[in-house]
């Protein structure tokens, strides 16, 4: 398994830990289309990590089946299966005794790539995660910051070009600024590599930002809703989902939309506030409130005014 993204399908999967009455994952069915990011969210103990680890069989299961690119994970050799799936965890788990380059080349070496090819790949990946290769290649993990470690972890998971990736709260331990930067970096990288990614988080905002689809799990690993971020925010399936996404779902919805989508009002008079067309409506609203203004000028890439967005126009979207 490597190269093109593969569809991941959960088909009526149930996982019970021995000696526990309640199932950790209950009758879970969902399809992650090839090349999409699926965020698994839900409260602590809802079975997100368990569901994710069933895919590379770090946790074994008996009921139901999971397929990757049409092949059952149970039909594949265990080590081959795992080498074909990128794996990123919150604590990163870099090998302390290996340099950055050696860490990243773990799976290529396991697969017997020749040295030259591996070295080129390492440099390519360091470049992709925005760490200058000359500077970082020979460092040990103890010589990296938390954010840099997570970048290396991401590069390591991508090394053998796996069709699928599993990520368990990869940015959970980082400060908000580093987290936001890495989230956007992940989106940029995903734009380039198009993997099928299962991304576990309990941060609904992170899920809204990253996911093509969000799977919301409730206690006992029951799937409460599986849909695109916009549809979940617009039409929460039940009270649980509504409570989980929070009372500010109107604002969250605005974070999914950009000023470009709006019909702009003509320019009138002097307005100090300016924003580019790719600004999210949430950020635009925030700017207006911060500056006590009821409108904002949208400018194009040259900085030329294109039109005006008003508070009323944003409020009217909710209809």
Partner 1 sequence: MSGGLLLAQGEPIIPDFGEGSDCVVENRFFCPDWVRDNWAGVIQPALLQHVKLVVIAVAIGFVLSFAAALVAHRYRLVEAPFTAFSAVVYTIPSLALFQLLVPVTGLTVTTVEIALVGYTLLILFRNTLEGLRSVPPDVLEAARGMGYTRGQTLWRVELPLAVPAMFAGLRVAVVSTIALATVAALVIPYGLGYPIFLALREAFKTEIVVAGGLAVLMALVADALLVAAQRALTPWASARRLA
Burial status of residue 80 (CB atoms within 10 A of its CB: 0-12, 13-18, 19 or more): exposed
List the single partner that 87 binds among ligand ATP, partner 1, Mg ion, none, CB under 5 to 8 Å by kind. partner 1
Examine residue 97 and tell whether it contacts partner 1 (CB under 8 A).
Answer: yes
Tell which one of 81, 165, 209, 296 touches partner 1 (CB under 8 A).
81
Whether the CB-CB separation of 94 and 141 falls below 8 Å is answered with yes
Return the residue matching tokens 């006992």: 220
Q: How far is CA 201 from the centre of its chain?
A: 8
**Strands 8-15 and 164-168, sheet pairing:** unpaired
Q: Which residues pair with 89 in a beta bridge?
A: 168
- What is the C-alpha radius of gyration for the chain, rounded to an integer number of angstroms? 22
Binding to partner 1 in span 7-66, by CB under 8 A: 56, 58
Near partner 1 by CB under 8 A: residue from 48, 83, 252, 258: 83
Distance CA 158, CA 190 (A): 11
Contact partner at residue 143 from ligand ATP, partner 1, Mg ion, none, CB < 5 to 8 Å by partner kind:
partner 1
172 forms part of the interface with partner 1 (CB under 8 A): no
Contact between 240 and partner 1 (CB under 8 A)?
A: no
3 state DSSP class of 299: strand
Cα 273 from chain centre: 32
Binding site for ligand ATP (CB under 6 A): 17, 20, 24, 42, 44-50, 202
To the nearest whole angstrom, how small is the minimum distance from the Cβ of residue 248 to Mg ion? 24
- Min. distance of Cβ 139 from Mg ion in angstroms? 29
CB of 87 to partner 1, least distance (A): 4
Buried b (16+ CB within 10 A) or exposed e, 212-229: bbbbbbbbebbbbbbbeb
Residue 11 CA: distances (Å) to CA of 3, 14, 66, 163, 223 = 24, 9, 6, 19, 12
93 lies in the site for partner 1, by CB under 8 A: yes
Q: Select 157 or 223, whichever has its Cβ closest to partner 1.
A: 157
φ and ψ at residue 108, rounded to 5 degrees:
-55, -40
Nearer to ligand ATP, 24 or 198 (CB): 24
Which of these segments, 96-104, 188-196, 234-242, 270-278, binds partner 1 (CB under 8 A)?
96-104
Contact partner at residue 304 from partner 1, Mg ion, ligand ATP, none, CB < 5 to 8 Å by partner kind? none
Q: Among residues 92 and 253, whose Cβ is nearest to partner 1?
A: 92
* Interacting residues with partner 1 between 147 and 166 (CB under 8 A): 153, 156, 166
Pair 214, 30: CB distance under 8 Å = no
Give which of ligand ATP, Mg ion, partner 1, none residue 47 binds (C-beta under 5 to 8 Å, depending on kind): ligand ATP
> Which one of ligand ATP, Mg ion, partner 1, none is in contact with 150 (Cβ closer than 5 to 8 A by kind)?
none
**Rounded (10°) angle between helices 115-128 and 146-158:** 130
Report if residue 225 touches Mg ion, rule: CB under 5 A. no
Q: How far is the CB of 123 from partner 1 (least distance, A)?
A: 20
DSSP-assigned letters across all residues of 63-90: EEEEEETTEETTTS-HHHHHHTEEEEET
Structure tokens at 130: 């925005």
Query: Which residues make up the interface to partner 1 (CB under 8 A)?
Result: 56, 58, 78-84, 87, 89, 91-99, 106-107, 110, 139-143, 153, 156, 166
Query: Which residues make up the interface to Mg ion (CB under 5 A)?
Result: 49
């Amino acid at each position: 398994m490597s190269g093109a993204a593969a569809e991941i399908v959960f088909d009526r999967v149930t996982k019970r830990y021995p000696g526990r009455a309640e199932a950790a994952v209950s009758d879970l069915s969902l399809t992650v289309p090839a090349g999409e990011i699926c965020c698994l969210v839900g409260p602590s103990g809802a079975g997100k990590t368990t569901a994710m680890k069933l895919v590379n069989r770090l946790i074994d299961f008996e009921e139901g089946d999971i397929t990757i690119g049409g092949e059952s994970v149970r039909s594949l050799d265990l080590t081959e299966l795992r080498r074909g799936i990128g794996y990123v965890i919150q604590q990163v788990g870099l090998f302390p005794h290996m340099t950055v380059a050696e860490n990243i080349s773990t799976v290529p070496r396991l697969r017997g790539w020749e040295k030259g090819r591996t070295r080129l790949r390492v440099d390519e990946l360091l470049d992709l995660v925005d760490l200058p290769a000359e500077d970082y290649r020979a460092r040990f993990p103890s010589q990296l910051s938390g954010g840099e470690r997570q970048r290396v972890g991401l590069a390591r998971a991508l090394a053998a070009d796996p069709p699928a990736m599993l990520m368990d709260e990869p940015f959970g331990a980082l400060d908000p600024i580093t987290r936001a930067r890495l989230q956007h970096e992940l989106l940029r990288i995903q734009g380039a590599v198009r993997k099928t990614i299962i991304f576990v988080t309990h941060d609904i905002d992170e899920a809204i930002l990253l996911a093509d689809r969000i799977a919301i799990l409730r206690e006992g690993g029951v799937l409460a809703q599986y849909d695109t971020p916009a549809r979940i925010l617009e039409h929460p399936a039940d009270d649980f989902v509504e409570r989980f996404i929070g009372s500010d779902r109107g604002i969250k919805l605005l974070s999914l939309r950009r000023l470009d989508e709006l019909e702009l009002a003509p320019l009138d008079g002097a307005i100090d506030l300016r924003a580019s067309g790719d600004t999210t409506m949430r950020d635009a609203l925030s700017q207006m409130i911060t500056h006590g203004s009821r409108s904002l000028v949208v400018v194009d890439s040259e900085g030329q005014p294109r039109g005006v967005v008003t508070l009323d126009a944003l409020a009217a979207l909710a209809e």
